[in-house]
Amino acid sequence: MQHPEQTEYSISYVSRVAGISSRTLRHYDHIGLLVPDHVAQNGYRFYTQNQLIRLQRILLLRDMGLKLEHIAEILEAQRDEREALANHIQQLQVQRRTIDRQIRALEHTISALENGENMKPETSFDGFNDQYKEEVVERWGSEAYNSSNQWWRSKNAEEQSDFFAQVKELNQAWVDAGANKIDPESEIALNLAGRHVRWLRSVPGTPLDSPDPEQRRTYVISLAEMYVADDRFAKNYGGHAQFVCDALKAYVIKATEI
């Protein structure tokens, strides 16, 4: 395989084409997230294609809302750049399909307002509950997604707002407990885990509806591990996802019924 000639790019050039400041690039270098290919005797930083590819991935992950420390962990775990970039493409394609549907939904609402018509809720909210559709279907089947999606769409705006408020309150309770270094096997943590499981049970169509207790336990454990492994979920717990995971696992072991 022929490798492209390693052209060098100055920090000012990379800053301009990537749309980020030189100060940001120097910060990335300082924390070891993006180290330049070499630094000249005059202190100027120079980058090659390898660093540009890494920067592209950093910016993609940053735009997804991930913190720099989480981005560093992901880049360290994903050594195969081609595979990682292919995964990015898949994620962006899912986001694009969802955004396209949301745009059509908003256009429908605008049209209804301009023409003095009543908006159709089933059309106006199309695409707003599909962020994790493909993953839900892959993990637990289309019936699970359809049941939960139908349940969500049956709620009015106030009920949906109340649900989000409950989620926010629960997440904050986890963050507070983690910040206070609560033992994940303590009564406080186990009570919080029980509250979390009851919240999960409030959403129909999940494996918690299964009559098989082992399937219910496996579901909670798999979610707990996903909270740590997937930064989209981990960021909800303010750096305490491992505490949430450990507490939920301890609850599954100790609880007589899930």
Neighbours of 120 (CB within 10 A): 13
User: What letter represents residue 74's amino acid?
Assistant: I
Q: Report which of 93, 98, 210, 211 is spatially closest to residue 144, judged by C-alpha positions.
A: 210
Left, alpha or beta for 32 (phi > 0: left; psi -120 to 50: alpha)? left
> Residue 77: CB partners within 8 Å, gap ≥ 6?
none
**pLDDT attached to residue 140:** 57
Residue 231 pLDDT: 80
Please give the model's pTM, rounded to 2 decimal places: 0.49
d(CA 16, CA 219): 47
pLDDT tens string, the chain, 258 residues long: the values are 444 567 899 999 999 989 889 999 999 999 999 999 999 988 889 999 889 989 998 888 887 667 788 888 888 876 677 777 777 777 777 667 767 766 776 676 677 667 776 655 445 445 545 555 555 555 556 666 677 777 777 777 678 778 888 888 999 999 999 999 999 999 999 999 999 999 999 888 788 888 888 888 888 998 898 898 888 788 889 899 999 999 999 999 998 888
Specify whether the backbone of 226 is left (phi greater than 0), alpha (psi in -120 to 50) or beta. alpha
Note the pLDDT of residue 2.
47
C-alpha span between 100 and 144 (Å, rounded):
24
Identify the helix (H) or strand (E) that includes residue 52.
helix 49-63
